[in-house]
Amino acid sequence: MEGKIFLNEVVDNKDRKFGGALKYQPCKVVLEDGTEKNALFTRHAIEEAMERALFNPEDCPQKELSWWARTFG
C-alpha cells in the first residue's frame, strides 16, 4: 500500500455551503488507468475509515518485509 493522507495538510472550504465542512484533507486518487483525480476528505470521514480498519485488520494490506528482514528477522 502506497497511499497516504497527511492530516497536517489542510485546505479551507472556500465556497462553503450551509452544513459544509470548514476544512478538508486533500489527496490524489490514482485510477486503474493511471488517471489522477483530486479528492477532499473531512476529518470525520478519515476517522471513520481508521475505525473501520481497526475493527477489520484482516482487510488491511500488510507491509511487505524485505528479504533481509524475512531471513534475519
Structural domain range at position 18 = 1-58
- Judge whether 68 lies within some domain: no
pLDDT digits (tens, 9 = 90+) for 37-64: 999 999 999 999 999 999 999 998 887 7
Strand order in the sheet with 11-12: 11-12, 23-30, 36-41
> Which residue type, as a one-letter code, is found at position 72?
F
pLDDT classification of 73: cutoffs 50, 70, 90: low
Q: Name the residue with higher pLDDT: 71 or 33.
A: 33
Q: Worst-scoring range by mean pLDDT, 14-18, 41-45, 60-64, 69-73? A: 69-73
Distance in angstroms (rounded) separating the CA atoms of residues 55 and 31: 27
- Judge whether 63 lies within some domain: no
C-alpha cell at 27: 489527496
- Judge whether 13 lies within some domain: yes
Number of domains in the chain: 1
pTM given for the model: 0.74
Length of the chain: 73
- Judge whether 66 lies within some domain: no
